[in-house]
């Protein structure tokens, strides 16, 4: 289903995939609007159909509240995962954990191993 972007304005949110490798959705605010195009993040899109300028395969759509909520949850999950990964890369940091803390971690990961 094609959306109409003729009335898009600065500050509107759009969803698109910026990476061709992982196809991860990105939500960006519209920062500039011209008569035929608009910019969101570092990307330009055509108003007529939402297709990305310079790319034949990518397009965008207007972001819904659910898109924004899911995007924020995913960003939080990635942030937590990165912090935990960095923590466990250092033996000195894991050595400082108490038995109770280690048991809590073990209870979370025991079914994931």
Q: What is the pLDDT of residue 2?
A: 66
Looking at the chain, the whole-number percentage of residues with pLDDT higher than 90 is 57
Residue-wise pLDDT for 90-105, tens only, equals 878 888 889 999 999 8
**What is the residue extent of each domain of the chain?**
13-63, 67-109
pTM of the predicted model over 0.85: no
Per-position DSSP letters for the chain, written without gaps between them: -----TT--TT-EEEEE--TTT--EEEEEEEEE-SSEEEETTEEEETTT-BBTT-SS-BEEEPPHHHHHHHHHHHHHHHHHHHHHHHHH-HHHHHT--HHHHHHHHHHHTTT-
């Amino acid at each position: 289903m094609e959306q109409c972007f003729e009335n898009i304005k600065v500050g509107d949110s759009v969803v698109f995939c910026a990476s061709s490798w992982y196809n991860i959705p990105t939500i960006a605010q519209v920062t500039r609007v011209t008569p035929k195009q608009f910019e969101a993040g570092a990307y330009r899109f055509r108003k007529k159909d939402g297709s990305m300028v310079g790319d034949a395969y990518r397009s965008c759509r207007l972001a819904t509240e659910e898109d924004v909520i899911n995007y924020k949850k995913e960003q939080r999950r990635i942030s937590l995962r990165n912090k935990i990964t960095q923590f466990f890369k250092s033996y000195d940091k894991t050595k400082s954990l108490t038995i109770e803390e280690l048991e809590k971690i073990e209870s979370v990961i025991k079914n994931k191993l």
